[in-house]
A = this chain, B = another copy of it.
Amino acid sequence: MDILSIVGIILAFAAVLGGNFIEGGHFSALFNLPAGLIVIGGTLGAAILHTSWPSVARACKIVLWVFSPPRQDVHETSNKILHWSMTARKEGLLGLEIIVDAENEYFAQKGLRLLVDGTEPDAIRRAMEVDLYLIESRDLKAARFFECMGGYAPTIGIIGAVMGLIHVMRNLADPSQLGAGIATAFVATIYGVGLANLLFLPIASKLKGVVQQQYQYNEMIVEGVIAIAEGENPRSIEMKLQGYLEHS
């Protein structure tokens, strides 16, 4: 559970809406259905045209990571790898066979299977590094979906505002109506700039951070598996995993 993300969103919206309330603004003045339709629909449309289908689908899935990033216990996993290496020492690589199916992490299971199959260390490295790279680049593309929404939202907010101003210009001679019209038009700007800066851009950045952390976590598993395949002794493997432990 990433408490910080929740605190950030609540703080941002509470401050902006609260400040407006103290100033004497009415929430109703900030609520405008057409403006919302223009900004959210337009941004979503542009971002969908911009992005390939698999990235859109993945983005919908990983957006939850903002609040609950995938659980990764680096210490526990490091101990697990050490346990594998000791099993392999005592019973040979085939001794890992009974653990393979019990394992439910993708990288751990794939690595164990390659070990049990007696694959060469170099072949393991190549196979698993391609996987590492593919998964990272797929998830970064998904995170960039929010970045691109953060790029389109403010400009589409401006489109909405200018369209509202055009509509309002008919009443230029009547200040009372003009004011209400301009106010409505401005709401689209707030939606566009607000969604981009309080949601889309920070979310994209947070997701990128999670993706990079996962990459490091999986990299640790890969390094451990390769070290076992190379027959390194458990003590030396422990030292290798140390680096990952320190900045987890």
Residues of chain A touching chain B, judged by Cβ–Cβ distance below 8 Å, are 2, 4-5, 7-16, 18-20, 22-26, 29-30, 33-38, 40-42, 44-53, 56, 66, 130, 134, 138, 148, 152, 154-156, 158-160, 162-167, 169-173, 175-176, 178-180, 182-184, 186-187, 189-190, 193-194, 196-198, 201-203, 205-206, 209, 213, 243, 246-247
Measured CB to CB, the nearest residue on chain B to A131 is: B246
Question: Could you say which residues of chain B place their CB within 8 Å of the CB of A158?
Answer: 189, 193
Contact of A41 with B16 in the complex, beta carbons under 8 Å:
yes
Contact of A172 with B166 in the complex, beta carbons under 8 Å:
no
Q: What is the total number of copies of this protein in its complex?
A: 5
Measured CB to CB, the nearest residue on chain B to A35 is: B19
Question: Could you say which residues of chain B place their CB within 8 Å of the CB of A33?
Answer: 22
Partner of A171, one of B12, B159, B179, B246: B179
Question: Could you say which residues of chain B place their CB within 8 Å of the CB of A12?
Answer: 41-42, 44-46, 49
Measured in the bound complex, the distance between the Cα atoms of B16 and A37 in whole Å is: 7
Contact of B29 with A167 in the complex, beta carbons under 8 Å:
yes
Measured CB to CB, the nearest residue on chain B to A210 is: B52
21 contacts between A and B (CB under 8 A): A4-B48, A4-B49, A4-B53, A5-B49, A12-B42, A14-B41, A20-B38, A42-B198, A51-B205, A51-B209, A130-B243, A134-B246, A138-B247, A156-B197, A158-B193, A159-B194, A162-B186, A166-B186, A166-B187, A170-B180, A173-B179
Measured CB to CB, the nearest residue on chain B to A4 is: B53
Measured CB to CB, the nearest residue on chain B to A57 is: B4
Since A25-B164, A52-B206 are in contact, a sample of 16 more A-B pairs with Cβ atoms closer than 8 Å, ordered by chain A residue number, is A5-B48, A8-B48, A9-B49, A12-B49, A16-B38, A20-B34, A22-B33, A24-B167, A30-B166, A49-B198, A49-B202, A159-B194, A166-B187, A171-B179, A172-B178, A173-B179
Nearest Cβ on chain B to A136's Cβ, whole angstroms: 12
Measured CB to CB, the nearest residue on chain B to A173 is: B175
Nearest Cβ on chain B to A204's Cβ, whole angstroms: 9
Best-surrounded residue of A47, A50, A213 (most CB of chain B within 10 A): A50
Measured in the bound complex, the distance between the Cα atoms of B35 and A60 in whole Å is: 34
Nearest Cβ on chain B to A199's Cβ, whole angstroms: 8
Contact of A176 with B167 in the complex, beta carbons under 8 Å:
no
Contact of B162 with A49 in the complex, beta carbons under 8 Å:
no
Question: Could you say which residues of chain B place their CB within 8 Å of the CB of A165?
Answer: 182-183, 186
